[in-house]
Structure formats: C-alpha cells, structure tokens
A and B are shown apart, each in its own frame.
Chain A
Amino acid sequence: MRQYVIRRLVLFVPTLLGASLLVFVLMRLVPGDIAEILVYQTGSESSTIQKKQIQQIRAELGLDRPVAVQYLAWMAAAARGDFGQSYTQRRPVRDILIERFPRSLELAGLTLALAVIWAIPLGVVSAVRQNGWLDYAARVLSLSGLSLPLFVTGALILYGLVRLFRWIPPLEFVAFTEDPAENLKQLIWPALCQAYYISAPITRLTRSQMLEVIRDDYVRTARAKGLGEGAVVYRHALKNALLPVVTFIGWWGGRLLGGVVIMEIIFVVPGMGTALVQAVSQRDYPTVQAMIFVMALVFLLVNLVVDLLYAWLDPRIRYA
C-alpha cells in the first residue's frame, strides 16, 4: 500500500506541472497580448508612439522575457500562493480566486449530490430488470440526458422560469452564508440541469457494472443459500458494482469545477467559469493561468483521493 501511495504521489507533481505549462504556453500563443489591447484601446496618434508604449507595457509586465523564464517566475510565485496582478481588474488574482472559487465549488457540489441521489438507484433498477420496460425507460431517460446538451436544457429551463414564474436570474450573487434560501433559489436550477446531464453516464455505468456483477458466482451463491433478492442486490452485488462507479463520480466531481461554466453563463452565476471566459477574451493571462491551474489542481487532487480510496477498498489494485 505504501508503495502504491508513493507511486501515485510521484505522478501527481509532473502532471500538475505539465498541465500548468500547457496553459502557460497556450496563452503565450494567443495573438494580440494585453499590451496591444491596452494601447490600441486608448488610441494614440502615431504608430511609433504606440509601438513604444506596447514595448514599455510588456517590459513592465515582464512579457518581454523568454517564456521559460516567465513560467519559472510564475511557478515560483504560485507556489507561495501569489498569482500576480490581474491585468484588467487591477487587483490581485488571488482575491478574484477567493471570491469566485467558493461559488463554483458550491454549484459543483450541489450538482454532484443531486446527480448521485437519483442516478445510482436508477442504474440498479435498470440492471435488475434488464430488458424490461423499466430498463428501457431508464436507458432512454439517461440517453436523453446525455443527448440534451447543457445549454439546451439550460435555455429551456430558463425559458420556462421566465414564462411561468417571471423569474430572471438575479444580477447580484447572494452567498449561502448571507441568505441560504436566496442562494439556493439561484443555484438550484443550474445544478438540476447539470445533474440531469451527468447522472446519465453514472446511471449507465451503474447499470453495466451491476449487469456484470450480478452474473458472478458469489451472487449465485448468495441466491442459492436463500437470501432475499433485496439482500442479494444491495448487500452483495451493489457493493462490488459501485467501486468503478465511485471512481467515475470522483472523476466527474473533479471535472465539475470547470464543467459548470456553461451553467454559470446561462444562469448568470459569477463563478470561476464566467471569470475565465471573460479573462480569455481580454488576454488577462494571470487570471486565466490561475483559474485553470486551480481547476487542474482540484481535478488531480480529487482523483488522487479517489485512487487511494479505491486501492484501500480493493486490494487487487495496489498489488497490480
């Protein structure tokens, strides 16, 4: 077990570095940097003055240094929790993160909870009654969940809310700590939308895992010794079938922080996603890098925890 933990931890660091490097280089490839945008906005008279201004701003922001040097400097600062100054918002990126992160986290958590609550029972029922009408209904339901892209369900729900309840997403975000009811009213719709979407693969995986497990010998043994169907399904089959499902949920859970971006846009939730989309269009490198870095970090951390949990639950993994 200890060896497995060490191996898994050793893999964590290069992956995180690789992901951050990727984003860093990618943002440097974006045509038109912040200096150009700032200068052309103010609109000075001659182009030689503009060019000088651009060079001056680049020098101030350190953009004239080689990318490798920039990356190392960024990494060194980031390790201390300093993500630099936002180019467009004139405040530290860390403050933006502290403001936005909890909102996206809450939305992601709510989404995942809603999805798991109904996806797993549906998957179990679907497997136990394979090829019955319930199975078909569940499969069509989950496939339709997969087929309705997030922005379609989001748009339809928004339309329904506007039409039926005259409800439009509030422009001001209310934190859960300030007013829980108001906060949930704002987040429940995007969470339900996305939960419907991600519950589909969870249902399908639960179904296929259950189908596999339910044919195993020990399940036959459990039946043969006269256990009730409920005990066979829930105590024997489900426990083993759920292992890969847990990994998958963990994978999705880590993914969701960045995955709720479309919901944030439709339902006007000022979270990380909306900030990120805006920062990309404004070439606000420090904000983009920090946001994506945090998203990748959370994703990798969640995966690490799930993997270790999995290895602890299933001894076959750690000795493989």
Chain B
Amino acid sequence: MTEDDARAAVARAFREERTSVLATLIRQTGDFGLAEDAVQDAFAAALVTWRRDGVPDRPGAWLLVAARRRAIDLARRSRSQHERAARLAASLDPDAPAEEPDPIGDDRLRLIFTCCHPALDLPARVALTLRTVGGLTTGEIARAFLVAEPTMGKRLVRAKHKIAEAGIRYRVPEADELPARLRGVLRVVYVVFTAGYAPADGDRAVRAEMCAEAIRLGRLLCELLPAETEAWALLSLMLLHDARRAARTDPDGRFVPLDRQDRGRWDRARIGEGLAALRRADRPGPYQLQAAIAALHLTERTDWGAIAALYDRLCELAPSPVAEVSRAVAAGFADGPATGLTLLEPLLAAPAMRDYQPLHAAHAELLRRTGDRAGAAAAYRRAIELTGNAVERAELLRRYNDVQNGGAPATVR
C-alpha cells in the first residue's frame, strides 16, 4: 500500500476510532497521561505497519491492542511507578483480543463525564474535553482560548492530576445524578461552540474549527444519550447558528447583522439537520428554548412577539444576563423600545453587570430607537470600551458614528 493510502487510513482511524480507543485504555490503565501517550504511539506504529501489511479489518481493535501493549511498556519503563507498572502489567493481557464495544457503558461516555466532572473548574473541563475527547493539540486549544501554550499545558496536567489524586472515578453518573451532570457536560460543549462562534478577543468573527468540534461533540452526545432531549436541543442550537456562519461577515470581514444577511449563503443542509434535531427535543428546557428562538430567527418575517415570549420562559427557567438582555431586545422590537428599556433598567442598576458589553450595546440600540442620540452615543462608547473582538468593535464604531453624525439609523436585530 502506498504511503498516501496508509496516511489516509490512519487519518480516518484517528477521526473515527481515537476517542473510543483512548477511552477504553483510560478505563483499563486508570491513567490519563499514560493512555494518551500510548494511543499516540499506537497511531504512529499504525502508519508503519499498515503501509507494510495493509489496513486491518478492524482498525479500532488493532489500535487498542497496540496501545495496550505500548502502555505496558511505558509503565514498566518509568521507574518511579514501578509497583503500579507491575499491577498494570498483571491486569492487562497484551494478547487479549480487543473487547467488543458495550453500547450501554460506552467508554466514550465515561470519558466525557470524567472530563466534565464538576470538581474541576470550568476552563479545565473545557480544555480536558477538547484534548481528550476531541483529540485537539494543546496548542490548538491554547489559541482558541487565547492563553499561552505552556499555561494551557499546565492547566491540562493539573486537571489530570486532580482526577487521579482526588478520586474522581471513571464512570457514567447514576440515573439520579445524571440530569445535573449532563447539564454540566452540555455547558462545556456550548462553551466550546461559543469560543468559536463569538470569540471574545482576536481579529476574526468566527473560529470555524471550534464550531465544528463542538458540533462533533454534540452529535456524539446525541448518539450516546439519544433519550436526552436537551442534548438534541443543544445540537440543534449549534447547527442553526453555524448554518449562518458564512453570512455573518462580508468579504471584508465586517460583521453583518441577521436582518441584512444574504440568505443564499446560509447552509440549507445544516438548517435541515438543526430543525430535525429540534423535533427530537420535545420537552421545554434552556437549550430547547434557545434553539426554538434560533429557528424563529430563520423565518422571512421575524415574529418578535413569539421570540419575546420564548425569552420570557427562558428567563424563568434558566435566568442569565445574556437571556435577560436578549429578552429586552426582543421586547423592544415586539412592543417598542420603551418596553425594552424598562426591562433593561434593573440590569443597568446591577453592579455585577457594569462591565457586561452586550448590555451596553443593547442599551445603546434601544436609546437610539427612542431618538435619544446623546444617550445612545454614551452607551455605544461604553460597549466599545468593553469589547476585545476587532470585528465586533468595527460594527459598534460604525453604529456610534451613525448616531454621532445623525446619519440614517442603522437597523439592528
């Protein structure tokens, strides 16, 4: 087989089998770092062996056996872990056949719940999930979250130590704790998506690779937990947003608000998949409401009354600053800017919200629509001060200049 063919086969196996192989090996060795190294070496070995002997019938099984042998070697070699290596060597039979995957106790699900354990802080959960479940490199994760690579490396090492030392067990939570723990997992996936879709800093409006990774994780969760309606709802929400990705910036990289987007550039296949996922989410929940709102935003004539009503429910069910601000914006379109401003009042008075950029951007927009140009200009200035994303700043500056010059009012969603 040619080198290119072998390379392609290994790349495909990496995409399709890596998470399962790693997840199973972590269960068998009880050691994240060791399992990661061993799996990496197994893929390197595959490149050589498959080129010589051809691709095995079951690449996943081949990789698991190779990685398990490698794990035993690595454990024996590290002197400091002598006793553990002996235990490991005794418990792992290098010649045992690879186990058939167990659909109920899927190791990938164990891996996801362990990486998203609430005793790890949120940035550690996000990083570990991307590294271990997603197979991203430390450098890729560091760039997505704008931290130096060594800092991200330390965060990952610390998280793995914590799992080992604190006694976080490698398991899927029991039925009674599953709902709360699943909410934590979905949150991690959504943080990854948001890091891609609305980067807080940097020069780009979107980091597509992070959106793609979050959607991949979302699909995996739906595959592993098909009865969980909020998992389907999150997948739907991400797909419906991602479908509009290409239309969100113009050829010069400037932000294009929803009502001025070229609908021809929306991804119809993504929208279809997103709406299908939304139909699987047939119980109200925080993501279900947000996905339903995203679906309403796709219609030709936006039904702001319906959107405002969904935000009302969202603020009851899962209150958050972003939901409260969005509710005020929606009510501002449905019932007029004065209603929106009334809803913003308590938020503007809250000290915790003082540096919340979307609040000031929404405030500016509502003031502009009431004709209060001076007030709007001041609120835009505040929003501009608080944004670190270059594309977002350019759009806010444009609107600021509009109110300053008394130019034609810009439309804004």
Q: Answer yes or no: do A and B interact.
A: no
Interface of A with B (CB < 8 Å)? Answer: none
